[in-house]
Structure 1
Amino acid sequence: MRVVDIIQKKRENQVLTEDEIRFLLENYQIGKVPDYQIASFLMTVYFNGMNTEELKVFTKTMIDSGETIDFPGVEKFLIDKHSTGGVGDKTTIALAPIFGALGMGTAKLSGKGLGHTGGTIDKFESIKGFRFSNSKEELIKIVNETGTGLMGQAESIVPLDKKLYALRDVTATVSSIPLIASSIMSKKLAVHADAIILDVKVGSGAFMKNIDEARELATTMYKLGRAFDRNIVCILTNMDEPLGNAVGNSLEVVEAIETLKGNGPKDFTYLVEVLGAQALILKGDIKTLEEGIERVKEVIKNGDALMMLKKFIKGSGGDPNVCDDYSLLNIATETLEYSVEESGYIKHIDAEKIGKAAMMLGAGRATKDDVIDHSVGIIMQKKVGDRFEKGEILLTLYHQNNMRDEIIETLDGAFVFSQEKVEKIPTILDIIG
């Protein structure tokens, strides 16, 4: 078997066999196939795609390149909720305790976040003393007690993905739908879960900028999950403005806690309710979304979800009193109120620019070696569809005396205004599966 023949076959848009795909990827992993040939192959996939069976083999080979992880001894129905990322996405902080209160669990392997703000672990590390599980045994114990387990990303899982992604990054093939789907799903499938919920963000603050491409990605991942006999649902959600009102690690922790107290922003609260309801449907406890949403509302109203968060924080070395006393969090005391010299309605918010401004304040990382400032961030006072008057505050920046002109200039370019009334953007755009 020759690599050049495999490349040519895919170039001619023919279907590759399992043996051909495995030969190509396995030999690349051990250094027997050079980068330039894999780069050529990636470009053929970019233009011609892969069918579901090819993608299944491709993904299975990726999974087999490293170890797989299960959680023997976990007594919960495990949900793996994955988001493709966005601005103000603090969903796991509120959703995981809800899973726990509903008798389910989530065991997540999370890395440090790049971009606008930190990842889930970074946000939890806003809480003094908090540390995530250092071993699988610790994670299993805390999942059984609280429904939530967090552990650092294992380098041994899907190592081939990291090698391929580095090449995709320099060959303009990152945006290939099959390659994105395989990259995400290989990591999801390598770690045991009873069901998978994929939150695919769509809009200016997301990787997928338009609904058609996002729907194609979600459909591809759904079919791939079903090909592996996994219980899966994909939800397309709006990221044409920040999710909720808070952008920044400590600020997002506060907003997630307030959501568990029943005081969260409408868009974020609704997303959490729908995701919780979908988990109950996947588990088989209920049949309708409406019934599931009522169950989620109930565990928020009776305080069970907040209690689960407190137990998780305490079990992770943090102070659970942070849920009632936000002064225990490190939140910047210097603020700047942003307004404009006109009146009208907010027609559009470029979420990516809001995220960029937060990152310039120190809330995120441009490189993996950057140090996050958990205290800084942005609170949105107005969202798309809201009316505002001249000089009324649109957002508040929390900073450490590091305000710069470029931050304000970035915010100036983030808003589009209208004199006509503007409709609110729906939070949930589509549900696949």
Structure 2
Amino acid sequence: MRMYDIILKKRQGLELSTEEINFFIRGYTAGEIPDYQAAALLMAIFFQGLNFRETADLTVAMAGSGDQVDLSGIPGCKVDKHSTGGVGDKTTLVLAPLVAAAGVPVAKMSGRGLGHTGGTVDKLESIPGFKVNLSPDDFIRQVREIGVAIVAQTGNLVPADKKLYALRDVTATVDSIPLIASSVMSKKIAAGADAIVLDVKTGNGAFMRSVEDASALARTMVAIGRLAGKKVVALISDMEQPLGFAAGNALEVREAIETLSGRGPSDLRELCLLLGSHMLVLAGVTSRVEDGIKLLTGLLERGHALAKFREMVQAQGGDPRVVDEPDRLPEALQKEQVAAQENGFVEAIHAEMIGRAAMLLGAGRKTREDTIDPAVGVVVHKKVGDRVGRGDALATLHINSRENLALVRQLVAGAFHLSTVAPPARELVYSVIGYGDNDTDINQ
């Protein structure tokens, strides 16, 4: 078998066999296939696509390219959640302790962020002392004892995906649904959960800009997960404006604590209750989403979810006092408001522009080598539909460096679009995929 023949076959639009896909993943992971041939195949896939069977084979081969986490030592149905990413997306910080408080074990491996702000583990590292690197035994032990742990992915979890994603990033082959789906689901399968809830974002602040593309990606991932023996459901959620108010690592931790305390932004709270209720349904704790929402709402109101978050922080070496005293989180040296220049209603908030501003302040990474400043970011004060008066604060910038500050001001001011009439209310979740038989048809 030759890599040249595999590239030519896919370039001609023909279907690759399971053996050919396995040959490629094994050879590239081992360093036996050079980058230039892997890049050629990725470009052929980008233009010719993969059918469902090829996509599933690619996912399984990638999942088996390194370590696979064994969660069998944890009793009960282990449920994971994955978001395709957006601006202000701190749902895992709320969901993991909330669902664990309902008795469902959450053993979550999360990545670091590349883009607007840090990933979940970057956010958690803004808590003084919090350790995201646990040994496999300690990881399993913690979930057995308190029901929840959030750790950084192990270095050898799906190494094929790490190599391929780095190559896709520099060869303009990132935005391919089969390649995105196999990348996400290979990590979820290798991470060992029994059931997975996917939060697929759509809008200007998301990777999938249209609802149609987001739905196609969701259907593909649901089908792949089911083929691998997992229970999978996907929600298509809105990312036309930031989720919640805060975009920045410590700022998002603070907002997550507010939400776990029964307060917090209404959209973040609503989305977490929806995602969490689907996690409970997949785990068999409730049979209906409505019952799950009721159960989780009670856990928030009675303080059980916040107590579980405090327990997790303490178990992973963090300072539990931040839960009751959020001012112990890192704070920026300077704050500056961006004010409205006219009266009106907020018609739109361009989420990507807010995210870019947060990254330029130091909240995110342009390259994987960049260092994140946990204290900085952007907090918006208005959401779509809110009335605004001239001079009202639209957002607050949390600043530690004046580098890029002029551009940041311009981006944040330009992200808000005002109109003379109130816009219609936006949907937070467009659809749920995974309960009907037809939902897994990726050709829909």
TM-score normalised by the chain length of structure 2: 0.93
> Which residue does 1:408 correspond to in 2?
409
Q: Secondary structure at the match of 1:262?
A: coil
Change (3 A) 1:248 1:195: same
Aligned counterparts of 2:155 and 2:292: Cα–Cα separation in 1: 36
1:216 Cα deviation from its structure 2 partner = 0.9
Residue 344 of structure 1 corresponds to: 344
Query: Aligned partners of 1:238 and 1:131: how far apart in 2?
Result: 32
Bigger mean CA deviation after superposition, 5-14 or 406-415: 5-14
Q: Is the 8 A contact 1:361 1:377 kept in 2?
A: yes
Q: Which residue of 2 aligns with 1:429?
A: 430
Look up the match of 2:50: 50
Q: How well do the aligned residues superpose, as a CA RMSD in angstroms? A: 1.7
Q: CA 1:8–1:315 in 2, change beyond 3 Å: closer, same or farther?
A: same
> Within 5 Å, which residues of 2 pair with 1:179-328?
179-328=179-328
* Matched residue type, 2:433: I
Residues 131 and 175 from structure 1, CA distance in 2 versus in 1: closer, same or farther, beyond 3 angstroms?
A: same
Q: Which runs of 5+ in 2 are unaligned?
A: 435-444
Q: Distance in 2 between matches of 1:50 and 1:134?
A: 37
| Equivalence map 1:386-405=2 (5 Å) | 386-400=386-400, 402=402, 404-405=405-406
**Aligned-residue identity in percent:** 46
* 2:329 paired with 1:329: yes
Listed one character per residue, the Cα deviations across residues 208-261 of structure 1 (whole Å, up to 9, x for unaligned) are 111111111111111111111210111111111110011111111111111111
Aligned mates of 1:377, 1:36 — CA distance in 2: 38
Query: SS where residue 132 of structure 1 aligns?
Result: coil
Residue of structure 1 equivalent to 2:29: 29
2:18 is matched with 18
Q: Deviations over 1:17-64 (max 9, x none)?
A: 212222233233334433333323222211221122111211111122
Partner Cα separation in structure 2 for residue 394 and residue 285 of structure 1: 41
Q: Is the 8 A contact 2:344 2:419 kept in 1?
A: yes
* Per-residue CA distance 1:345-401 (angstroms, 9 max, x = gap): 111111111111112222222222322222222221101111111111111122236
Report the equivalent of 2:373: 373
Q: Measure, in 2, the Cα distance between the counterparts of 1:378 and 1:191.
A: 32
Letter of the structure 2 residue corresponding to residue 137 of structure 1:
D
Cα deviations across residues 120-148 of structure 1 (Å, max 9, x unaligned)?
11211222122124201211222123322
Separation in 1 of the partners of 2:325 and 2:11? Answer: 60
CA displacement at 1:322 relative to structure 2: 1.5
Confirm or deny: 8 A CA contact 2:377 2:398 kept in the other structure: yes
Matches for 1:71-86 after TM superposition, within 5 Å: 71-86=71-86
CA contact (8 A) 2:249 2:375 kept: yes
- Partner in structure 1 of residue 441 of structure 2: none
**Aligned mates of 2:397, 2:164 — CA distance in 1:** 38
The 3 A distance-change label for structure 1 pair 40 and 96 is: same
Counterpart secondary structure, 2:430: strand
Find the residue that maps to 1:104 and give its secondary structure. Answer: coil
Q: CA 1:7–1:253 in 2, change beyond 3 Å: closer, same or farther?
A: same
- Rate the CA distance shift 1:34–1:248 in 2: closer, same or farther, 3 A: closer
1:108–1:150 CA contact under 8 A, matched in 2 = yes
Structure 1 match to 2:438: none
Q: Secondary structure at the match of 2:78?
A: strand
> Do the aligned partners of residues 40 and 365 (structure 1) sit closer, same or farther apart at CA in structure 2, a change above 3 Å counting?
closer
Letter of the structure 2 residue corresponding to residue 304 of structure 1: H
- Gaps spanning 5+ residues in structure 1: where? none
How many residue pairs match? The answer is 433
Match of 1:163 in 2: 163
Mapped partners of 1:186, 1:321: distance in 2: 37
TM-score computed with the length of structure 1 as normaliser: 0.95
Deviation at 1:162, TM superposition (A): 1.9
